[in-house]
């Protein structure tokens, strides 16, 4: 699988040009589209022009950063000038965006090549992302709502794609597609120019082939933005500098209890092995319970429904029949919700955030581990998981382990941890203290280097892009 560091080495050594990488991405997207449906639109002319500009900059000795000349995909809730932002919904007009979102401007400024826009679950509200398929098994979902971005990276079409994450929508497809997904601290990446789902929970971030790629991407994406009042003014660290420091001397919590159970046995086994592996390489591992997380789902959906309804109120009024019935029902419920219920959800959110932060302080933790998800990729047709004799909706099963880190705003990274008996990926989630993405990335890079998982490729994979050295 291509990585951002590998692409950077190839470009700067002359082993490849950005035009070659970009042409390979465009060819791969076209070849795999019938199977994956990862992209909703490709911008061939714009991408090739940007690639040629990157090649000219490289030839002139101008280094624009780690993403210079690298093809990337953009989730179709993010404005890209000249391309429509449809949010996966027929209710949105196909009018081209007039300007780039802040994060797209930052990508362009860093020399990245915008290859096209990736498929999202409608209104970024779901965990399936139809009609996208999972490269590991085409009968399985890629996760959502950034499923197109996850599938595109996992299939080797692009080395990086942008996702959004309101309840897990970067980390869910990362886990199910066997790649890396980073949700940084709330406010670390600007949301200006991005359609909202729930403004107080939304995060933007990268899905990449490796942890080093996510670190490099965050260096480009992060930073203050006058167009987004929630964007943090904190300076942006060099996230790649700590990746090779290992975990020796770190204290890492292993979450137990709520919200992990129930869990598929294979996922539990992979998770236990991952924690043992980090312990064997020098980390002090300690069990941690946070009982308040039992109420995470109630708080998550108690906030998402009214905030999403407020944002999409006009769309719901004018074109309700063009919105998926399940999503429409959520929006209607949000409009009908009494304000006191929203306020109670906000209070629960504060209690959960405080409890998580106390867990870090009282246990002296540098990081906290959970399985990213309690189950691997569901069948495209599945509504529920069966854990023994008990059924649980797929959406609730996935969001209960990821949502707490949206509620708390803490940074959380998903890295490939292993596979279940059917060969489907299992993810490891690594959370850290506020604005301590460096530690989450450090732990992730250390695990990646010893786990030997990330080098595996799915059956649906493009071999036309530069491979790892």
Q: How far is CA 459 from the centre of its chain?
A: 22
Active site residue 75: yes
Candidate list 169, 190, 414, 446, residue with the active-site label? 169
Q: How far is CA 404 from the centre of its chain?
A: 15
CB 142 within 8 A of CB 176: yes
| CA atoms of 295 and 185, how far apart (whole Å) | 21
* Measured CA distances, 123 to 19, 307, 316 (Å): 33, 13, 12
* Measured CA distances, 274 to 370, 375, 378, 426, 439 (Å): 10, 16, 22, 11, 17
Token pair in block for residue 108: 């362009």
Token pair in block for residue 46: 């714009």
Token pair in block for residue 252: 């890492």
Candidate list 18, 25, 89, 145, residue with the active-site label? 145
Active site residue 455: no
SS3 letters across 317-328: HHCHHHCCHHHH
- For every residue of 62-123, DSSP letters joined together read ----TTTT-EEEEETTB--BTSB--TT-TTS--PBBSS--HHHHHHHHTT-EEEEEE--SGG
| CA atoms of 380 and 327, how far apart (whole Å) | 18
| CA atoms of 146 and 148, how far apart (whole Å) | 6
Q: Helix, strand or coil for residue 207?
A: strand
Nearest to 424 by CA among 134, 1, 38, 119: 134
Show Cβ contacts of residue 18 under 8 Å, excluding neighbours closer than 6 positions: 11, 50, 51, 52, 54, 55, 58, 68, 69, 70, 71, 113
Q: Helix, strand or coil for residue 423?
A: coil
| CA atoms of 464 and 274, how far apart (whole Å) | 32
Candidate list 75, 129, 190, 242, residue with the active-site label? 75
| CA atoms of 373 and 371, how far apart (whole Å) | 5
Of the CA atoms within 13 Å of residue 344, those in its CB half-sphere come to: 9
Q: Which residues pair with 140 in a beta bridge?
A: 379
Q: Which residues of 221-237 are buried (b: 16+ CB within 10 A; e: fewer)?
A: bbbebeebeebbeeeeb
Nearest to 326 by CA among 89, 150, 40, 38: 89
Active site residue 446: no
Token pair in block for residue 184: 């940084």
What amino acid positions are annotated as catalytic residues?
75, 145, 169
């Amino acid at each position: 699988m291509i990585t951002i560091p590998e692409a950077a080495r190839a470009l700067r050594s002359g082993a490849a040009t950005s035009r070659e990488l970009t042409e390979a991405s465009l060819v791969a997207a076209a070849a795999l589209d019938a199977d994956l449906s990862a992209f909703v639109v490709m911008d061939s002319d714009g991408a090739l022009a940007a690639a040629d500009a990157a090649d000219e900059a490289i030839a002139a000795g101008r280094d624009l950063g780690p993403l210079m000349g690298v093809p990337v995909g953009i989730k179709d809730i993010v404005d890209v000038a000249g391309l429509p932002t449809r949010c996966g919904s027929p209710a949105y007009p196909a009018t081209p965006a007039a300007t780039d979102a802040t994060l797209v401007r930052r990508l362009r400024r860093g020399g990245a090549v915008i290859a096209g826009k990736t498929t999202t679950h409608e209104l970024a509200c779901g965990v399936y992302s139809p009609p996208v398929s999972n490269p590991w098994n085409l009968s399985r979902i890629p996760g959502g709502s950034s499923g197109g971005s996850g599938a595109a990276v996992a299939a080797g079409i692009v080395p990086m794609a942008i996702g959004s994450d309101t309840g897990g929508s970067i980390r869910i497809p990362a886990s199910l597609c066997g790649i890396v997904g980073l949700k940084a601290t709330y406010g670390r990446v600007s949301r200006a120019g991005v359609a909202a789902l729930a403004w107080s929970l939304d995060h933007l971030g990268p899905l990449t082939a490796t942890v080093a790629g996510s670190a490099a991407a965050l260096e480009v994406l992060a930073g203050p933005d006058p167009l987004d009042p929630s964007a943090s003014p904190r300076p942006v660290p060099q996230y790649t500098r700590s990746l090779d420091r290992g975990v020796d001397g770190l204290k890492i919590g292993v979450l137990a209890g709520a919200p992990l159970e129930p869990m598929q046995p294979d996922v539990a086994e992979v998770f236990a092995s991952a924690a043992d592996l980090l312990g064997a390489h020098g980390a002090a591992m300690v069990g941690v319970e946070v009982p308040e997380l039992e109420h995470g789902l109630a708080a998550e959906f108690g906030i998402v429904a009214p905030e999403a309804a407020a944002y999409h109120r006009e769309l719901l009024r004018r074109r309700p029949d063009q919105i998926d019935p399940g999503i429409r029902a959520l929006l209607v419920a949000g409009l009908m919700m009494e304000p006191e219920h929203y306020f109670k959800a906000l209070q629960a959110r504060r209690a959960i955030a405080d409890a998580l932060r106390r867990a870090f302080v009282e246990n002296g933790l540098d990081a906290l581990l959970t399985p990213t998800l309690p189950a691997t990729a569901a069948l495209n047709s599945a509504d529920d998981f069966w854990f023994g004799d008990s059924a649980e909706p797929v959406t609730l099963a996935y969001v209960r382990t990821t949502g707490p880190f949206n509620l708390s705003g803490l940074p959380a990274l998903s890295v490939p941890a292993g596979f279940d008996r059917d060969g489907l990926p299992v993810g490891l989630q690594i959370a850290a203290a506020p604005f301590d993405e460096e530690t989450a990335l450090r732990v992730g890079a250390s695990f990646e280097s010893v786990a030997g998982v990330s080098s595996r490729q799915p059956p649906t994979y493009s071999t036309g892009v530069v491979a790892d050295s």
